[in-house]
Structure 1
Amino acid sequence: MSTEETDGAIELSSGVYWVGAIDWNGRDFHGFTTPGGTTYNSYLIVGEKTALIDTVKSPFAGEMLRRISQIIDPSKLDYIVVNHMELDHSGSLAELKKQTDAKILITKRGVDILNGYFRDSGSENWDLEVVKTGDQLDLGKKTLMFLEATMLHWPDSMETFLKEDRILFSNDGFGQHIATSKRYDFEVGDVLPDAAEYYANILMPFHMPLLRYLGVLNELGIEPVQIAPSHGIIWKRDLQKILKAYGSWANGEVREKVLVIYDTMWGSTEAMANEIVEAVRAAGVEVKLLHLRKNTRSHIMKEMLDAAAFAVGSPTLNNGIFPTVGDFLVYLKGLRPQKKTAVAFGSYGWGGGAVKIVEQELKSSGIEVIEPGLQVRYRPYEKELEMCRKLGEQLAAVAKKK
């Protein structure tokens, strides 16, 4: 069965099918910019009995049901495995339950979330079974093993391993937000940058649970030959590449790389940013200049993933920080990147304040801050530009030490 057949279910292995949905025009995922769209991956397992792993976002229920119907009558479904109750995974659950009495397998923490979302659909009367790590479901010639993945990235999160086919249905782990008619990594080229952006914006704060989870996979001797996430393509050829990348990201590994992130009103903060960038470049360290109104937060956080140091620049507006800088710092605080050193800089007119506020916000995000930051009144002249260059050299030296 061709993986280019966008209207059909796609067989991943004997009796294992992708029956999800493609969101070609999705451009925003609760604040995460998705210029390439996304997919909502649902998987049908057919043994002597049948199980569906996750549903799809509710507007795409018909697409999922159509694909399931190409393999089995949805009313004949025996089990629904709920890996995650977030609505991009479970949104079509109530619609599916109108057609089937299938038993739902879910983690203990997922039950309360399920009833919170679907009580008005009669969820309290649905047939549920709570599962935990190591529990197994025998479908006849197909065996599912359940693996709790608490806080990757919700309390209820779980992953499911199909033992005979060695397919890991990895929930939000290893995903990417891309829409494509192809289903496998080797069919679409290098998707590691998309996976990095996904990790940086969704899983970055949960590096400790991730490291514990990777340890559980080793302890249980789980060595998948396919990793099938809830979004994006399925990993088959580049399994070791993505597993190695996740280990590196979770451990907060960085390289000689500096980011200069800023916004500007009348060009003074931008002039400072350019001078800092030039000094970092001259020191032989990779550097990227990121204007906050010309780069999405999600892209900036992808670049942050392996950066050793960064600078945040803001003009002072109404005795505070520029709105786009404030927005970015709130986003940064939620993601709490590891092992970073940062510095604040900016310009002001009759009254300063932005640099101190940026420093405070960085500290509250767990970032090591170089103090004092650099403030320039009105516009930078040669003396101030030299101070910017010194600051760039300092950032480059920090990056080289890490």
Structure 2
Amino acid sequence: MFQIKEKIYWVGYKDWELRRFHGEEYSTHKGSSYNSYLIKDEKLALIDTVWTPFHEEFVDELDHKVGIDKIDLIVINHCEVDHAGSLAHLLERRPDIPIYCTKKGSEMMQKSYHKNWNFNVVKTGDSVELGQYKLIFVEAPMLHWPDTMLTYVQGANLLISNDPFGQHLASPHYYNDQVDQGELFYEAIKYYANIITPFNKLVKAKIKELKALNLPIDMIAPSHGIIWRDNPMQIVEKYEKWCNNYHEGSVTILYDTMWGATKKMALAIAKGLENKGVPAKVINTAKYDKNDIITEVFRSKGIIVGSSTINNGILSSMASILEMIKGLKFKEKVAAAFGSYGWSGESVKIIEGWLKDSGFELVQDGKKINWDPTGDELKECIAFGEAFGEKIKSDGSIQ
């Protein structure tokens, strides 16, 4: 237990060894934490639990420090197993404890855990008096699940924000002013890019709604990673920027290659972009972490995507990344395609189809080269990059 406010404690679990999350879908190079919070007021309230593999340590620690029999209520902001996974083990000892959650939360927990627990369904504005403090609930559907809600602790000026405003980061420290800022904000933007991006409009609306409630907030405590106590609204301001079809005016070149021809094209295209003063990053999709790739796409105004042709298609790492990009529904970004081939040459057309279906504007025809590029053909690739760069102004807007 670690006290974060008067009568309020972090009772979560730091997972130092975690390297993959959501199955194998999300990389966690720095581990993560599952943040559960305990309020020891006149009533004792537990906000969320921890991921299922750590349920025994979690429940035993609670029982040792406060006593399971003393818990008056549990709030489940989100029923995914990294939040509610210890609930079944906890309720084996106290099946009568009231659980406060959204309507969707109760439905989804019954489907997930096959138990008809003592659910108390709440909606935005509903509250529970604890004594010195009062819990106020704010529904936040699809940020990032249908059941999601936030819990505001009135009297403590504390927003327990669930997945929004979090990061996958295990640290010996608890607060944002104690950790490396570059690392913190990279993990925060990576989390947004890979998890929250499809819900940009909902983020914008929910922040507007939250501000309209005029709740004083001097700490934001998410479900993963670091707690925001130093200027906590700075992460809200970041979300306001990120949800507005964010970019940094740069271009990311994504490629995969069999024998190096497509790589040569990618590097030449990057030279062309640099000639026009456009920052360019070159990434081999077969050798780079997929979630870090998505983060770079999120930060870019445009992407240029290339692959060799194989079996009348594209290389598997590129197909995987394009599938992820499509699902994230990026908006107001531009793109082009390139690639090398031996005899059939479908890759550029296939990539262009993926990009169009993913909502990217194709601003120039694709570039393909037969076999290994000659010196003149590499000059054409440089010109291809320059042409793309000319379409992006210094502020990242399109000419």
What TM-score do you get using the length of structure 1 for normalisation? 0.95
Aligned partners of 1:255 and 1:34: how far apart in 2? 24
Q: Contact 2:77/2:151 (CA < 8 Å) preserved in 1?
A: yes
Q: Which position in structure 2 is the counterpart of 1:359?
A: 352
Aligned partners of 1:380 and 1:106: how far apart in 2? 60
Q: Which position in structure 2 is the counterpart of 1:154?
A: 145
Alignment of 1:228-247 (within 5 A): 228-247=221-240
Q: Which position in structure 1 is the counterpart of 2:20?
A: 28
Aligned partners of 1:235 and 1:391: how far apart in 2? 44
Aligned partners of 2:85 and 2:339: how far apart in 1? 45
Q: Contact 1:16/1:44 (CA < 8 Å) preserved in 2?
A: yes
2:165 matches 1:174: yes
Aligned partners of 2:32 and 2:168: how far apart in 1? 4
SS at match of 2:58: helix
Q: Which position in structure 2 is the counterpart of 1:5?
A: none
2:6 matches 1:11: no
Q: Which position in structure 2 is the counterpart of 1:37?
A: 31
Residues 295-347 of structure 1 deviation map (CA, whole Å, 9 limit, x = unaligned): 11110111122211111110000000110000000111111122110111100
Aligned partners of 2:77 and 2:65: how far apart in 1? 22
Q: Which position in structure 2 is the counterpart of 1:291?
A: 284
Q: Contact 1:285/1:396 (CA < 8 Å) preserved in 2?
A: yes
**Post-superposition offset of 1:382:** 2.5
Q: Which position in structure 2 is the counterpart of 1:308?
A: 301
Q: Contact 1:258/1:395 (CA < 8 Å) preserved in 2?
A: no
User: Is 16-25 or 240-249 further displaced after alignment?
Assistant: 240-249
Aligned partners of 2:54 and 2:238: how far apart in 1? 31
Q: Which position in structure 1 is the counterpart of 2:180?
A: 189
| Percent identity of equivalent pairs | 41
Query: Match for 2:232: what amino acid?
Result: L
User: Is 297-306 or 266-275 further displaced after alignment?
Assistant: 297-306
**Post-superposition offset of 1:229:** 0.5
Q: Contact 1:252/1:306 (CA < 8 Å) preserved in 2?
A: no
Query: Match for 2:213: what amino acid?
Result: L
2:318 matches 1:325: yes
Aligned partners of 1:51 and 1:227: how far apart in 2? 18
Q: Which position in structure 2 is the counterpart of 1:128?
A: 119
Q: Which position in structure 2 is the counterpart of 1:164?
A: 155
Query: Match for 2:359: what amino acid?
Result: G
Q: Cα distance 1:389–1:223, how it changes in 2: closer, same or farther (>3 A)?
A: farther
**Post-superposition offset of 1:75:** 2.1
Aligned partners of 2:387 and 2:207: how far apart in 1? 36
Q: Report how many residues are paired.
A: 390
Aligned partners of 2:366 and 2:213: how far apart in 1? 49
Query: Match for 1:52: what amino acid?
Result: L
Q: Which position in structure 1 is the counterpart of 2:343?
A: 350
Structure 1 segments unaligned to the other structure (5+ residues): 1-8
Query: Match for 2:155: what amino acid?
Result: E
Q: Contact 1:135/1:146 (CA < 8 Å) preserved in 2?
A: yes
Aligned partners of 2:231 and 2:64: how far apart in 1? 30
Q: Contact 1:176/1:232 (CA < 8 Å) preserved in 2?
A: yes
Q: Contact 2:254/2:282 (CA < 8 Å) preserved in 1?
A: yes
Q: Contact 1:151/1:209 (CA < 8 Å) preserved in 2?
A: yes
Query: Match for 2:107: what amino acid?
Result: D
Q: Which position in structure 2 is the counterpart of 1:96?
A: 90
Aligned partners of 1:28 and 1:381: how far apart in 2? 42
Query: Match for 2:224: what amino acid?
Result: H
Query: Match for 2:230: what amino acid?
Result: R
**Post-superposition offset of 1:293:** 2.0
Query: Match for 2:41: what amino acid?
Result: G
2:372 matches 1:379: yes
Q: Which position in structure 1 is the counterpart of 2:103?
A: 108
**Post-superposition offset of 1:256:** 2.0
Q: Which position in structure 2 is the counterpart of 1:281?
A: 274
User: Is 202-211 or 284-293 further displaced after alignment?
Assistant: 284-293
What TM-score do you get using the length of structure 2 for normalisation? 0.95
